[in-house]
Structure formats: structure tokens, C-alpha cells
Amino acid sequence: MKFDESIKEKIKEAKIVAFSVDMLSEKEKELVFSKMVDKILNSDKILEEKKILRTDNNDQELEVVEDIQELYHRLKPKKGLDIVMLIAYHFYTIKKSFVVKDLLANYKVLLLPSPSNPSDLINKNRLKGYIMLNGKNDKKNNLFTITRKGLSYVKDGFKELDDD
């Protein structure tokens, strides 16, 4: 992976800042530095994601994929189940499916503490009909995707839907 010089400089500056805070232990300094590096690296990824357009089979533009952080701040999920739905919705706009590891990675991008049992949150949303199993990936991990009902739930601001 090739980094441009501006990213290298930002990381060097982050290290200086993180390790200059006297009131933190060495482990805390490393954690702060790690979070700062994640933020630096994800900021470039976020800029790229903002430019992604989904297209149909005729290369017609459908929609701009919204950055997960912007989506989080716009929709303001309050519960853990809703955060899972927000992430499922985001993955649907990019590549349709996700695995538990993807879910946990997005908690880090959002700078939120990871749930202790992410599979339980997924399964609770499956019971509501918001998420469904979508097969397995090449590593035999379960793939999940959001359902139509789940899409409506997220788009309506996490309001419970009447059953059809």
C-alpha cells in the first residue's frame, strides 16, 4: 500500500501529539495514537466514499453513497439495534452484504464501543425481519443483508413499522 507524503506527515504529527500528553499511561498514549491514525486513514477513505456512485446495468447513475459518519449524524440512531441497522443500510448502498467483522469495523469508524455480542444484535434484527441471511462468503462466514422492511425502518428514522 502506497501512502502519499501528506498522510505520512499527518501520522508523524499525530504520534508527537499523542505521546506528548503527560497525564496518560503508555498504553493510553498508544491507544490515542491508534485512534488518531484510524481517523487520518479513514478521512481519505471517507472522501473517496463520498464520490462513489452506484450504477445500474446501463451505467445510469442511481445515487451517491453517503459516508457512514454523515449517515450516523443525520439519522442519529439511539439504540444498539439501530446502529446495526444503520451499518447494514450503509453496506447495502456499497456492496449489498456484510459479515460480523464488517459490522465491528464500522463501529471503529464511528468511534463507538463495539458490542460485546454483535451476533445477538444481528439476530434480534433478523427476528424483526429487518436483516436476513444472504449465504456465506469464501471464508464460510455468514453474509447478512438488509431487507426491504429494514430499508424502510432506517429511511423512516428508526420508527417501528406496521406489519403488512
The answer to whether 86 and 154 have CB atoms below 8 angstroms apart is yes
Question: Tens of pLDDT along 24-72?
Answer: 888 888 888 888 887 777 765 544 444 444 444 554 444 556 788 888 9
| 96 and 144 part of one domain | yes
* pTM reported for the whole predicted model: 0.61
Q: Is residue 94 part of a domain?
A: yes
Is residue 86 within 8 A of residue 79, CB to CB? The reply is: no
Q: What is the largest distance, in Å, between two alpha-carbon atoms of the chain?
A: 59
Contact 25, 10 (CB under 8 A): no
| CATH at residue 110 | 1.10.10.10
* Count: domains in the chain: 2
